[in-house]
């Protein structure tokens, strides 16, 4: 941790203690609905003392609380101190779940309620405050006067802390969370400051975060879902309290909604690029239905840098922009990477984010080989930075939809331009592709020659296709194809003109699991001859055998 970070942490600690020293209990004058529904299955695990956050499990010894245990990672600590687990425990009617809920919350107040500990960051304080207020009835059930006094005093301290520290929250969603907590506090607690200023600040932050086309600088689909949920919920809370949401708040929400819809596959799951996770199948539908605005008409062209082809029961999402460079981004090296879903079954996927599975997994998930894309093989040095422009355009014809993408990601280091040409049949049962590498000009050819260790000798490249772990993959057609067997018994075949098709083991990262899942990646190899190379391939559903 640098000197600046240490100074900021010390300042936050002092502000937390200052907010707690002067806090007086303030009663609730209004109690909105909770922002999220809990998971009863997670509640049973929590009630047994098993904490699963950030891909890590910690078991609480009998008779102890989580506040006395070491945290295995900063993200695990944030999940614990953010108190999002209150939603889960409140979703269970089991007596043990209620005892754990009450004991842990009041235990936190006893240990950290005077401004100490790692949980005094603005966004974490906002998460706690929102859930404490939303579930106050459960938390104070059977509480004595001293416990109630400490609870309301600590609520007041959270409100004071947010008033002073929201400007020091991290950029992006952390800033919105802190401001949402401030709005919630001013609407819910008696003798609080007027809510109008906080409502205006929330609108200003939302306007700055969502660009005119409804996109986020992080290009993370999950971030966009969280933003829509947060802005939709806070708008409802403000209106229910008899106030009016800031027009900038509502405009940002209406811009983001159509983009979110275009980042979903046929099964309702989100694309898994740039740190995003798939999310629940109904999460987007629920967020869109709850948003108290009318979505703006979607802009033409890619949505947040992604192209979505939908036909029949199939969908294809293509990463058609450069990796994000925003401060809050988790960039993946995925130029022109694709994901393909048919019905409720993802077929070709990205590995997802390795966050929560250790630093090695996090780094692995950001690489090109964790995606269904094109990579340079042995003999050509792959660039450390993928800084070139990436773009795509879509056209529709009677027989299906075409997408033509171009990537300059390798251009600076090798002089090669990559073109990916895709066609999704109108039935949705056949996807055809053509991947071309070319160095056309004299300058590009000279750059390619210098990037090769031997003068114009054949060099390898490959198109990668990462199969979902629920799918069984095996070689077919004497090594020139791969057969994909879906869980429902359907069969798809990936054929190619290449002489080399191989399978390699890879890892697939999924939220809620303690270990990555094993799956396979289909590797279709080719050679760069002179200054040009091409691979053509098709992925097609096989007709069932006659009975």
Nearest to 13 by CA among 82, 111, 114, 104: 114
| pLDDT surpasses 90 at 505 | yes
pLDDT at position 277: 81
What are the pLDDT digits (tens) for 246-300? 999 999 999 999 999 999 998 889 999 998 886 655 666 666 655 666 666 666 7
Q: What is residue 380's predicted lDDT score, i.e. its pLDDT?
A: 45
Number of other CB atoms surrounding residue 91 within 10 Å: 17
Angstrom distance (rounded) from CA 467 to CA 478: 20
CA atoms of 299 and 188, how far apart (whole Å)? 38
Residues 6 or more apart whose Cβ sits within 8 Å of residue 173: 123, 223, 226, 227, 230, 328
Confidence of residue 2 (pLDDT cuts 50, 70, 90): very low
> What string of DSSP letters covers 21-52?
HT-----BS--PPPSS---HHHHHHHHTTEEE
Distance (Å, rounded) from C-alpha 372 to C-alpha 334? 8
C-alpha gyration radius of the chain:
26
Average pLDDT over residues 43-55: 89
How many CA atoms lie within 13 Å of 57's alpha carbon, on the beta-carbon side? 12
* Of 275, 263, 280, 220, residue with least CA distance to 75: 275
Distances from the Cα of 286 to the Cαs of 211, 357, 463, in angstroms?
23, 29, 36
pLDDT for residue 291:
62
More confident residue, 263 or 330: 263
Strand order in the sheet with 417-425: 390-397, 400-407, 417-425, 430-438, 532-541, 491-496, 481-485, 472-476
pLDDT-derived band at 5, boundaries 50, 70, 90? low
State pLDDT tens for residues 58-113.
Answer: 999 888 899 988 998 888 999 999 999 999 999 888 889 999 999 999 999 999 99
The pLDDT value given to residue 381: 46
Q: Is 474 helix (H, G, I), strand (E, B) or coil?
A: strand
The pLDDT tens digits of the residues spanning 135-163 come to 999 999 889 999 999 999 999 999 999 99
- Residue-averaged pLDDT of the chain: 88
Is residue 307 within a helix (H) or strand (E), and if so which, with residue range? strand 306-311
Question: In the predicted model, what is the mean pLDDT of residues 443-471?
Answer: 81
Cα-to-chain-centroid distance, residue 169:
20
Q: Considering the entire predicted model, what is its pTM? A: 0.91
Q: How far apart are CA 365 and CA 475, in angstroms?
A: 25
Could you tell me the end-to-end alpha-carbon distance of the chain, in angstroms, rounded to an integer?
67
pLDDT of residue 379 exceeding 60: no
Nearest to 52 by CA among 74, 79, 70: 79
215-241 pLDDT tens trace: 999 999 999 999 999 999 999 999 999
Q: Where are the alpha helices (DSSP H) in 304-389?
A: 359-365
**Residue 544 or 358, more confident:** 358
pLDDT on residue 152: 95
Q: What is the mean pLDDT of residues 507-520?
A: 91
**Helices assigned H by DSSP within 85-220:** 85-90, 95-112, 122-134, 136-139, 145-165, 173-188, 196-209
What confidence score (pLDDT) does residue 453 get? 61
Listed as own residue / partner, the contacts of 276-280 with beta carbons closer than 8 Å and 24 or more positions apart are 276/220, 276/221, 276/222, 276/223, 276/352, 276/353, 277/222, 277/352, 277/353, 277/510, 277/511, 278/346, 278/352, 278/510, 278/511, 279/222, 279/225
Whole-number Å distance between alpha carbons of 222 and 216: 11
pLDDT bin (cut points 50, 70, 90) of residue 355 is confident
Q: Please give the share of the chain, as a percent, with pLDDT higher than 90.
A: 61
Q: Region 155-176: what's the mean pLDDT?
A: 91
The residue to which tokens 């303030």 are assigned: 26
Q: Are 138 and 131 in contact (CB under 8 A)?
A: no
Quote the tokens at residue 253.
């929400």
522, containing H or E segment: strand 517-528
pLDDT, mean of residues 471-499: 93
For 29, other C-beta atoms within 10 Å of its C-beta total 12
Token pair of 214, please?
A: 């409804």
Contact 306, 273 (CB under 8 A): yes
Are 106 and 152 in contact by the 8 Å Cβ rule? The answer is no
Cα separation, 535 vs 167, whole angstroms: 52
């Amino acid at each position: 941790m640098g000197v600046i970070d240490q100074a900021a942490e010390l300042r936050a600690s002092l502000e937390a203690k200052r907010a707690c020293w002067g806090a007086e209990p303030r009663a609730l004058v209004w109690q909105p609905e909770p922002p999220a529904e809990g998971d009863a299955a997670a509640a049973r695990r929590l009630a047994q003392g098993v904490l699963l956050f950030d891909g890590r499990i910690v078991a609480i010894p009998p008779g102890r609380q989580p506040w006395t245990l070491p945290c295995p990672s900063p993200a695990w600590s944030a999940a614990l101190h953010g108190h999002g687990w209150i939603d889960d425990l409140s979703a269970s009617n089991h007596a043990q779940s209620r005892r754990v809920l009450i004991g842990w919350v009041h235990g936190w107040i006893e240990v950290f309620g005077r401004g100490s500990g790692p949980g005094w960051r603005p966004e974490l304080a906002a998460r706690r405050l929102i859930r404490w207020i939303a579930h106050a009835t459960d938390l104070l059930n059977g509480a004595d006067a001293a416990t109630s006094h400490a609870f309301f005093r600590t609520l007041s301290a959270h409100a004071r802390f947010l008033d002073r520290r929201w400007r020091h929250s991290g950029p992006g969603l952390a800033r919105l969370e802190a401001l949402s907590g401030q709005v919630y506090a001013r609407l819910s607690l008696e003798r609080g400051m007027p809510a109008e200023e906080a409502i205006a600040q929330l609108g200003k932050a939302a306007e700055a975060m969502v660009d005119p086309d409804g996109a986020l600088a992080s290009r993370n689909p999950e971030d966009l879902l969280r933003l829509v949920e947060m802005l939709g919920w806070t708008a409802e809370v403000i209106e229910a309290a008899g106030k009016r949401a800031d027009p900038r708040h509502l405009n940002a929400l209406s811009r983001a909604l159509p983009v979110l819809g275009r980042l979903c596959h046929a099964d309702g799951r989100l694309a898994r690029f740039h740190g995003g996770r798939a999310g629940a199948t109904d999460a987007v539908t629920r967020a869109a239905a709850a948003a108290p605005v009318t979505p703006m008409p979607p802009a033409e062209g890619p949505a947040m840098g992604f192209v979505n082809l939908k036909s029949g029961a199939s969908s294809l999402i293509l990463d058609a922009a450069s990796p994000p460079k925003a401060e809050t981004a988790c960039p993946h090296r995925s130029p022109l990477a694709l994901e393909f879903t048919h019905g409720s079954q993802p077929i070709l996927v990205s590995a997802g984010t390795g966050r929560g599975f250790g630093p090695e997994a996090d780094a692995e998930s950001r690489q090109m080989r964790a995606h269904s894309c094109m990579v340079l093989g042995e003999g050509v040095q792959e660039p450390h930075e993928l800084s070139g422009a990436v773009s795509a355009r879509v056209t529709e014809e009677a027989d299906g939809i075409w997408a033509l993408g171009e990537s300059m990601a390798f251009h600076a280091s090798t002089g090669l331009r990559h073109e990916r040409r895709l066609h999704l049949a109108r039935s949705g049962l056949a996807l055809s592709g053509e991947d071309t590498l070319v160095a056309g000009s004299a300058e590009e050819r000279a750059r390619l020659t210098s990037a090769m260790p031997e003068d114009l000798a054949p060099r390898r490249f490959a198109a990668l296709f990462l199969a979902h772990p629920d799918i069984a993959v095996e070689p077919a057609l004497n090594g020139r194809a791969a057969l994909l067997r879906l869980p429902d018994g359907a069969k798809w075949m990936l054929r190619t003109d290449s002489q080399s098709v191989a399978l390699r083991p890879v890892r697939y990262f999924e939220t809620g699991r303690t270990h990555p899942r094993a799956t396979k990646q289909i590797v279709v190899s080719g050679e760069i001859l002179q200054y040009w190379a091409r691979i053509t391939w098709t992925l097609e559903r096989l007709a069932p055998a006659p009975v």
